[in-house]
Amino acid sequence: MAEPTEIASLLERIQDGDREAFMTVIRLYQQKVFVMAYSILRNREDALDAVQETFLRLYQKAGLYKPGNSFQGWLLQMAKNISIDSYRKHQMKRREWETSKPLEEIPVAVEDRASDSAASDLRSAFERSVEKLANRQKMVFVMRHYNELQFNEISEAMRISVGTAKSLHFKAVQNLRKWLTPDLGI
């Protein structure tokens, strides 16, 4: 991660159209942005589109960054919002497509890589349960476990306090436990 002063200077240069400075910022944060997008979209190509969109937004809004705040938090917040928008659009398209196709023609195997194994059933039950979480709980859970962010980083990206982030995380785990207990065979 870059020092705040270094970031401030890079952003200034980006505002002047400096390609090298822009590439330096992309190089520093591209993987974090990708993981954030992938955690939400769960598709490599869509996640790469979201990465590009995030850096386009950064390029356009570099002047809006407030130097006292966490740059990574600000960038990940943009990545999160872009990915959620993209996810919603894909969901809508998928719903339209699915309702337009007879049930027997929908390729159910697309998501299911090992459809007949019990482990895969449990995994999809787990993923469905994560999907079912309330938005903020889901985002905190995804950021904590898939992006492996610290709670202070989550709080910066979501603009909530660290305490709220921890509490949302706790609620998320409690809900997952409640919903998954029958599948976990406890």
Partner 1 sequence: MNKCALNRDDWAAFLSGDLEEGRRRTMTEHLVKCPDCRAEADEMSRVLEKTEAVKAEIRQAVASVNWEALPAVIADRVLADAGKPEKAPRAGWFRAWAFPLRMKPVLAGLAAGLIVGAAAMYLALRTPGPRPGGDTGYYASGEFLDRAELEMARRNTLDYLEKSQYVLLDVFESAGEGGAAPTAFSSEQARDLLSKKKYLNAQLERFQMAKAKAICDQIEMLFLELSQISEELSAAELHKIRGFVEERQLLLKINLVRKELERGI
What is the residue type of 144?
A: R
Q: Which of 105, 108, 109, 182 binds partner 1 (CB under 8 A)?
A: 105
93 SS3 class? helix
- Tell me if 100 contacts partner 1 by CB under 8 A: yes
Q: What CA–CA distance (Å, rounded) separates 23 from 21?
A: 5
Question: Are the beta carbons of 151 and 162 closer than 8 angstroms?
Answer: yes
- Tell me if 166 contacts partner 1 by CB under 8 A: yes
- Tell me if 116 contacts partner 1 by CB under 8 A: no
Q: Which of 6, 8, 12, 30 binds partner 1 (CB under 8 A)?
A: 30
Backbone φ/ψ region at 17: left (φ over 0), alpha (ψ -120 to 50), beta: left
Q: Give the HSE-up count for residue 68: Cα atoms under 13 Å, Cβ half-sphere.
A: 0
User: To the nearest whole angstrom, how small is the minimum distance from the Cβ of residue 169 to partner 1?
Assistant: 6
User: To the nearest whole angstrom, how small is the minimum distance from the Cβ of residue 162 to partner 1?
Assistant: 9
Nearer to partner 1, 69 or 174 (CB): 174
81 SS3 class? helix
Smallest CA-to-CA distance from 38 within 51, 29, 30, 47 is with: 47
Smallest CA-to-CA distance from 185 within 117, 112, 122 is with: 122
**Angle ∠(58,137,40) on CA atoms, nearest 5:** 45
- Tell me if 38 contacts partner 1 by CB under 8 A: yes
Site string for partner 1, 47-86 (x = CB under 8 A): xx--xx--xx--xx--------------------------
* Chain positions contacting partner 1, by CB under 8 A: 16-17, 19, 22-23, 26-27, 30-31, 34-35, 38-39, 42, 44, 47-48, 51-52, 55-56, 59-60, 96-97, 100-102, 104-105, 122-123, 126-127, 144-146, 148, 151, 166-167, 169-170, 173-174, 176-177, 180-181, 184, 186
